[in-house]
Every structure is written in C-alpha cells, then in structure tokens.
Structure 1
Amino acid sequence: SRFPLAEARDPDLGRNSLQSYELSGDEHFSLAVQAGPGGDQRPELVLAKALDREEAAFHELVLRASDGGDPARTGTARIRVTRVTVRDANDNAPVFSQAEYTVRVPEDVPVGSVLVTVTATDTDEGLYGHVKFSIQKITEKASEIFLLDSETGAITLLRSLDFEEDDSYELEVKAHDGGALSDTAKVVVTVTDVNDNAPVLTVSSALSEISEDAQLGTVVALLHVRDKDSGANGDVRCSLDTGVPFRLEKSFKVYYYRVVTSGGLDREQVSEYNVTVLAADGGSPALQSSAVLALRLWINVTDANDNPPVFAQDRYRVSLREDAPPGSTVLNVSASDADAGTNAHITYGFGKMPAKMLQKFVVETESGTISLQEELDFEETRGYMLLVEARDGGGLVAHCKVEVEVLDVNDNAPEI
C-alpha cells in the first residue's frame, strides 16, 4: 500500500534546490519518490511489512528533505512527523485463563454464593476485545443449579446442593468477542459432604414375647440402620442401654444389627424391658435424633414354671367344738405362686391321710376352705392332723399341716 506525503518546498534553483527525501522510523515503512510532470519529486509512504496493532499501536516516522548545496542545507527544509495509527482487525480470539476450572464446595454452601469466576482475555480492542461469557454445554439438572454472569464470568449457586443427590457437575463455558471469535473451557464443580443427615434406624423384625428360660444369644430383634452421608459422617455406631440383659451384635448383612439375650431373664423380678437402641454417626458433632434413633422395644417375658406355690403358714392350728354340725367351716388355707398365668393357678387338696380323716373333712379345690363332713366326737378322737397340698398349673406342689383340736362339750350324762 502507498500513501502520498506532502511535498517539501525550496525556493533555491538548480543544484541548490530540493534534491532528496529521507525517511526514518521503523521497518514497517519505506519511502518511494515519484517524479512529477515538471520534474518535481513526490514522496510516498510505502507499507513494507504487515501491521499488528497488538504489537504496536502507532508508528512515529521522520521525513527529511535535503537540497544539493555545499554544504547541504536541511535546516530550512520542512520536516514533518507523521503518526500512523493502526486500525484494529478482529484477528485474535478470546483465551481463557485456564482450560479447566475445578472447584470444591461443601453441600451446605449458601444459595447465591459465587462458586468460581472464569476469566478470558482478548488482545483486540474495542468491540473485538470485549468478551462475553455463555454456557456451551450443561445438563438440564445443572442448568437449574448454576447461573453464569455473561459479563463477569461469575458462576452463582441458584439452589441448594445435595451431596447425596449428586456429588459432581461438569459445565462447558464459552467466551466470545464482538467479532464472533470464541474459546471454550471446562468447569468441574465437586460437592463435598457435610454431616447433614441423621442415621435412620428401623426395626425389621422383633419378638413380642420371649421365655424367661430362653438360652443366651437368643435373637429378639433385627435392626436396620442407614445414614445417607459418606465417610465418617455416614459411619454409624449403635449401642444399647446399660443394665439390661441384652446386647447388640452386627449381623452378617451390612447395615443390620441383632438384639440378643446376654443374661438370665427372671419374669418374677422384671416382666418387661424398655430397651433403647441409640444410633450415632461419626460426624463432628455426631448427629442423632430421638424421634428417629431412640427405638423402644417392649419385650414381654413369658413365664417358666420355676416357682412352686408357697403357703402363708407352714402349720395352721384351729379348735372346733365337738358339737359343730357337718358343713361347718374349719378354716381357710391360702398359698401364692410367683409365676404367672397357668403356672400361677393353684388348686387345693389333701395329701395322703387315713380314710377316716378323709371322711370327716373336705377341702374346696379353688378356695382352700376346709369344711366338716361328719360329726366330731371328743370322747372318740380329741384331735386331727390334716395334710393339705397346693398344686400349681405346672405340677409343682407345696404342703402344709392343719392341726384340728376337738373341744369337749357336755353331751354325755353320768352313768351309775
């Protein structure tokens, strides 16, 4: 390319007039001199090397005119300094500062937080150097979570993250200038876990009753426990109340525990147990919820017939007039049994006694009331020793003795 320059003027004639031009500046330009119709010299600026605005925004050149005198005069020659401004072309695309942006954020980061800011530069200027940002590739789910500011490149959180729902997101962002040149970069958002989930404890199966003579290690309940968190936050430990005859064992299945008997059961001392199972995770602080984790198992212990009946007294004494009519009540015996149900149901009867005594007395099986069946005779027998037994529903028997003293009445006249 050629650009005409203003001509120099020298009023001298002949050899003392304008003879030559000289250009100084840089290598991008050279000087060409064209001869005019009258023999005058016309300087032209020639572009010798392509310009690059990003390399140099302007060029300063000096044009010197010299005459042919001796000595040559230049002082009176016109010197014009030409500043050449280079107009920008969109020959540079935006460039991201990183090919991949990786950011780790906890899942409880507040909504509205700026997670990462992507940056890109464009060495052009003006419209061609103005960079805007947009999302090139994103899943539908991620598009509801992240927002990219087209001017600043800031990526903001639109809604809460959930590690248990998704622990990583990948976006492809684009930087484009006003001339449609662009660059792309990858953004990887890794979500880290926080301890925001309490363990969940459920009873898979449980016995409603267990015999008090059950063997040690008898399984009374199967528990399932899970925590949606990961790592230490999801590591759950279970424990039982102390002072109960049960213990926890890890099952062969993952996340399962067994509640088994660890000591002797005695229904007569404790008839039911309120067992609290506690699950706590390994977070700091550990999470536990009484509504979810405090599991109460009511285990009703069924009775074994390990207690015989016990009479209120080992020996009873009673006095009865010999004229007491048949059907009279002699006395009531009573016995108790520490067992329950059928094993605690007591019936009464006589033990081994002479037939004569069995004819005189009778005992009511349910109440233990002893009654007179035949008349007494002091002169014939002055007393009786009755053997009474109490038998429970499991076949255990207790005995007591009843001593009956017959009192004399004046029922015989003197004989001469």
Structure 2
Amino acid sequence: FVGDVAKDLGLQMPELGDRVIRILDKGRTQYFALHGKTGHLVTAERIDREQLCRLMEQCVLRCELIVEGEMKVYGIQVEITDINDNAPSFRQSKKELRLSETTVPGSRFPLAEAHDPDLGQNSLQSYELSGGKHFSLAVQTGPGGDQRPELVLAKALDREEAAFHELVLRARDGGDPSRTGTARIRVTVLDANDNAPVFSQAEYTVRVPEDVPVGSILVTVTATDADEGPNGQVEYSFHKISDRESELLHLDSETGEITVKNDLDFEEISSHELEVQAHDGGELSDTAKVFITVTDINDNAPELTVSSAVSEISEDAPSGTVVALVHVHDRDSGANGEVRCSLDGGVPFRLEKSLEDYYRVVTARELDREQ
C-alpha cells in the first residue's frame, strides 16, 4: 500500500461506472498500479532507490492518474526513502604495496575508498585499520565531504626484521545495526626508491559531446618520476571509478591516454569524476582528478502518445469540447528538449496546453456533419 488515491482526490470508485482509471508511469518501468475496487495506489515492482536515484538525496518517482471519459489527469509523486540495505564495499578487496625500507616515518599512501550507495547515516561513516604497529590510518575530508583513507607509516621499516606486513582496512556505515566491508593490504618491504611520480597538474578538465566516436582520446594525463630504471618507470591506473564508468572509459597504463570504449549518453550520465593514480616500480604514487563533462546533442526525437481519445462526437458539440489527451516528451535537455506541437490538415480542432507535457485536442468551432 502506497496511498489512498481515490480518497485523496475525492473519487468515488463505485460511482465511476464504465469510466476507466489508469496509472501511467513516466519511466519505462511500471512501479505502481491502482487497485480498481479500493482506489489504493500499490507497488507493482520492487523499488531499489540506489538503482533509480544515483547520488541524489531526494528520490521521487512520478506517475499520472488518467480518468478516461472525463479527460482528467492527476500528477502523483512518491518519495522513496532509504534503508540500510547495502554494506560498504571496496572496488578491490586486496591491495599490494611495495615500500622501501628507507621510507620516512610519516609518509602517506592513498588507499582505495569504499563505496556505499545508501544515503545519509546509512552510508559510509568511518574507516578502521588493524594489523600492526608500523602503520596507522589517517582520513582526509575532500571538498565534497567524502572521506579519503590514507596509510601512514608510523614506525621505520626494517626488511631484515619483517619483509611483509598484513593489514586490514575496515569501512563501516552508520546504520543500526551497522554494516562493514573490508580490504586486505599486503605491504612488501623493498630497498630505496626516493622519488614518487608527480602529475603535471592536480586536476584535468575536458568537455566532450555525447556523440564522440568510440576510440577517441578524451584527455592524456602525465606524471614524471625523477628516479632511474624501474623506480622511474610510471604506470597509470584508475584509482577511483564506478563500474559503469569503467565500461565507458579506458586508460592506457603506459601513455596515460583516456579513451572512449563505449558510446557516451548525456541522458544517462552527464559528467564523470575520476581519480587516476601514477605509480612507479617501487609503488610510490601520486593521484590526480579528471573531470569529464558530456554535452548534449539532439539525438532523441520527441515521443508523442495519445493517452486518451473519443471515437465519435456529436455535430452539435459546443466549441472547446475535448476529444483527445496527448502526451509529448523529449529525453534531450535545454533547447534540444523543448517541443512545439501543432495540428496539420486544416481540421476544425486546436491544441490546448494541459498538465506539464500534456495537450488537449478540442473543437475549434461548431461542427457540421453535412460539411
């Protein structure tokens, strides 16, 4: 049960007779249905807030209730609230770090962030580190409030004392009860590597149209390392990227070129925020952010649907009589999504704007069957 639509709108279900009431979802999936006898709005499909409203604080599903015969349409908004049904998770459950035994105590190494699609208190709240006295955990707060875990060397390493260190990074959310996710960190102690790679800039920004061809280079990230030999060879990898973005974008580990490997779609994702890591042969690293803005092109035609219509009309019907209800929608944005509607053919009807994207077709003058 979602709501008593009939009661809220003052509809008397038994008195409607042959007049049909329909629920029309704006999306492609019918999430709600109307119980014909009670007038109750009920769920028709399982609703997953994280799937429907990524990164949105307020998740609202919209649908319309259409009363055929009366040519009436009512807008319905249903807010989907969050429950703690997801645990924090790491993109990689295991991480290998190779550190020189000459690494200075206090050195910091960025760790992969956990992701929890839940909202507010149910989302990721804290990190914990366990596994030894040589390392501690520091958590930095990014400009957007995100928590970024860093491994801190608390005590000098000695390869002759211990060649490996096994650590566990735990991410915890704020639900009741809370949920956790873990990642294992294996630190291998090596000999000296004095210099870490350094990116040419901390942030890279690029704007591309959504119809950019597959295989196109969007941006090239560049980092340099002052060391020689294997310790100075830089390799690139994604440090922070979603599963969907990994299907769309490719990073060349040697050149730093980020290319398109699947078609971009502005209507699906209009911007991408990535983090790229450059690491050398000794696993010292630097990170840089990449912002890719996808711009809209007019690649969607307007979709027009006759939501309701009469099959006949009397010639003595007064001017302004409603004969059809039409819905029009264009998935593009801005000027590309603005739709103009008109009637062709010199017929004795005109269009009138109704609720949001709805138009009513009404008689423009008195009709004469003999003409």
Q: State the TM bucket, normalised to the shorter chain.
A: 0.3 to 0.5
Provide TM-score, normalisation by structure 2: 0.47
Larger Rg: 1
The structure whose RCO (Cα within 8 Å, separation 6+) is larger is: 2
TM-score calculated relative to the size of structure 1: 0.42
